[in-house]
Structure 1
Amino acid sequence: MPYYAEDYDLYLTATQSFCHKCNNLHRLIDTHIVTKNNEVFLRKFCPKCGETMVKISTDYEYYKRCNDYLKKPDLPEKHLTKVLKGCPFDCGVCPQHQNHACLALFNITDECNMKCNICYYAAEPGLGNHRSMETIEQMLATLLETESEPDLIQVTGGEPTTHPEIVEILRYLKKSPVRHLMLNTNGIKIAKDEEFVKALKSLGGGFEVYLQFDSLNSDVLKDLRARDMLDIRLSALAMLEKYNISTTLVTVVKKGINDHEIPEVIKFSRKYRCVRGVVFQPVQEAGRINARDDFRLTLSEIRQRIIEDEDNPFNDEDMIPLPCDPHKISVGYAAKMMDEKLYANLMPVTGKLPKELLTDQKGTITFEQDREFVKTVVETVSLDTAMGEGILKDKIKQKLFCCWPNFLCPADMGYENVYRIVIMEFSDIVNFDSINIKRECNFMIEPNRTIPFSTYNMGIEFSHGKKNAAS
Structure 2
Amino acid sequence: MDCTTCGPTPTPRKDRPHTFLLHEMSRCPTCRTEVEGRVVLRDEQVYSLQHCNTCGPSELRISNDAKAYIQSFLARGEVPEGLQGDHIFKHTTSTCPHCLSLVRAEVVIREGQVFFKKTCEKCGPSEALVSEDAKYYVKAYSFARAGTEPLKFAAEVKHGCPTDCGTCGDHEQHTCLPIVEITDHCNLECPICIVNNQYANHLDPEVFRSMVDTLVRNEGQCESIALSGGEPTSHPKLFELIEIANRPEIGRVVVITNGLRLGRDRAFAERLKETGAYVGLQFDGFTADTHEKIRGRDLCKEKAAALAMIKELKLPTQLIFVATRGANEHQIGQMVELFLSEDHFLSLNFQPAAFTGFGGGRFPHDPMDRLTIPGVIKAIEEQTQGKLKMSDFSPLPCSHPQCVSLTYLLRMDDGSYMPFGRFVDFKQHGTLLRSSATLGASPEIHDALSDVIHDVFARQDEVERGPEVLKALRRSLDVMFPDRPVSAKEAVRIGEQQAKSIFLHHYMDRHDFDLERLRKCCHHYPQVDGRIMPACGFNMFHRGAAKGPETPTAPWGKKPWSMPLPVLP
TM-score with structure 2 length normalisation?
0.73
Q: 1:122 corresponds to which residue?
A: 196
Task: Please name the residue that 1:158 is paired with.
Answer: 230
Residues 181 and 51 of structure 1, relative CA distance in 2, 3 Å threshold: same
Larger radius of gyration: 2
What is the aligned counterpart of 2:173 among 94, 99, 104?
Answer: 99
Q: Does residue 356 of the first structure (1) align with residue 427 of the second (2)?
A: yes
- After superposition, what is the alpha-carbon deviation per residue over 1:76-107, rounded to whole angstroms, capped at 9, x for unaligned? 22211122232111110012211111110111
Deviation of 1:187 (Å) = 0.5
Q: CA deviation at 1:123?
A: 2.6
Secondary structure in 2 matching 1:355: coil
The 1:379–1:202 alpha-carbon spacing in structure 2 relative to 1, beyond 3 Å, is farther
Could you tell me which residue of structure 2 aligns to residue 330 of structure 1?
A: 405
Alpha carbons 2:541, 2:557 under 8 Å: kept: no
- Which residue of 516, 532, 536 maps to 1:454? 536
Within-5 A mapping of 1:435-446: 435-446=516-527
Displacement of 1:64:
2.0
Which of 344, 353, 377 is matched with 1:274 structurally? 344
2:84 maps to: 7
Amino acid at match of 2:218: T
Moved more, 226-235 or 346-355: 346-355
Identify the range of structure 1 (279-288 vs 355-364) with the bigger mean alpha-carbon deviation.
355-364
Q: Give SS of 1:151's match.
A: strand
Unaligned stretches of 5+ residues in structure 1: 400-405
**Alignment-derived partner of residue 306 in structure 2:** 236
- Structure with greater contact order relative to length (CA < 8 Å, sep ≥ 6): 1
- 8 Å contact from structure 1 (residues 38, 61) kept in 2: yes
- Provide the C-alpha distance between the structure 1 equivalents of 2:534 and 2:245, rounded to a whole number of angstroms: 20
Q: How does 1:294-443 map to 2 (within 5 A)?
A: 294=366, 296-311=370-385, 313-324=387-398, 325-336=400-411, 345-359=416-430, 368-370=442-444, 371-380=446-455, 383=460, 384-390=466-472, 392-393=474-475, 394-395=477-478, 397=480, 415-443=496-524
Match of 1:56 among 120, 125, 130: 130
Asked if the contact 2:396–2:434 (Cα under 8 Å) also holds between the matched residues in 1, the reply is no
Provide the residue aligned with 1:33 in structure 2: 107
**Is the alpha carbon distance of 1:336 and 1:359 closer, same or farther for their aligned partners in structure 2, counting shifts above 3 Å?**
closer
Structure 1 residues 408-436: Cα deviation after superposition (integer angstroms, max 9, x where no partner): x899x752443221111011111111111
- The Cα RMSD (Å) is 2.9
1:241-280: CA deviations, max 9, x gaps? 1111111111111101111110111112223231123211
**Out of 128, 144, 148, which is 1:70 matched to?**
144
Q: How does 1:107-118 map to 2 (within 5 A)?
A: 107-118=181-192
Structure 2 partner of 1:144:
216
Give unpaired runs (5+ residues) of structure 2.
1-80, 461-465, 483-488, 543-552
Is the deviation greater in 11-20 or in 456-465?
A: 456-465
Does 2:361 match 1:286? no
Contact map agreement 1:378 1:410 (CA 8 A) in 2 = no
> What is the aligned partner in structure 2 of residue 467 from structure 1?
559
> What's the TM-score, normalizing by structure 1?
0.87
**Distance (whole Å) between structure 2 residues aligned to residue 314 and residue 251 of structure 1:** 17
- TM-superposed CA distance for 1:397, in Å, is 2.0
Displacement after TM superposition at 1:36 (Å):
2.0
Q: Whole-Å Cα distance in 2 between the matches of residues 362 and 459 of structure 1?
A: 30
Secondary structure of 2:343 counterpart: coil
Q: Once structures 1 and 2 are overlaid, which stretch shifts more, 37-46 or 426-435?
A: 37-46
Q: Residue 414 and residue 162 in structure 1: after superposition, are their counterparts in 2 closer, same or farther (change >3 A)? A: same
Q: Are the structure 2 counterparts of residues 145 and 419 from structure 1 closer, same or farther at C-alpha, using a change threshold of 3 Å?
A: same
- Aligned pair count? 448
Per the alignment, residue 275 of structure 2 pairs with: 203
Moved more, 7-16 or 224-233: 7-16
More moved, 454-463 vs 239-248: 454-463
Contact 1:81/1:91 (8 A) holds in 2:
yes
Q: Flag as ranges the 4+ runs of structure 1 deviating above 4 A.
A: 360-367, 378-383, 461-465
Residues 320 and 363 of structure 1: CA distance in aligned 2, closer, same or farther (over 3 Å): closer
Residue type of the partner of 1:395?
D
Is 2:156 aligned against 1:82? Answer: yes
Shift of 1:367: 8.6
Q: Does 1:46 align with 2:120?
A: yes
The question of 1:133 aligning with 2:133 is answered no
Change (3 A) 1:194 1:338: farther
Establish whether residue 265 from structure 1 lines up as the match of residue 340 from structure 2. no
C-alpha separation in 2, matches of 1:361 and 1:282: 24
Give the C-alpha shift of residue 215 in structure 1.
0.5
Query: 2-side partners of 1:431 and 1:398: how far apart?
Result: 42
Secondary structure at the counterpart of residue 302 of structure 1 = helix
Contact 2:394–2:426 (CA under 8 A) maintained in structure 1: no
Given that residues 210 and 247 in structure 1 are in contact (C-alpha distance below 8 angstroms), is that contact kept between their aligned partners in structure 2?
Answer: yes
Distance 2:326 2:471 in 1: 43
Rate the CA distance shift 1:12–1:444 in 2: closer, same or farther, 3 A.
Answer: same
Question: 1:188 deviation in Å?
Answer: 1.3
Secondary structure of the equivalent of 1:168? helix
Secondary structure of residue in 2 paired with 1:317: helix
| Deviations 1:24-71, CA, capped at 9 Å, x for gaps | 2xx311112121222111121211233322211111111122111111
| 1:452 CA drift (Å) | 0.7
Distance 1:92 1:75 in 2: 14
Counterpart-to-counterpart distance in 2, 1:58 and 1:130: 40
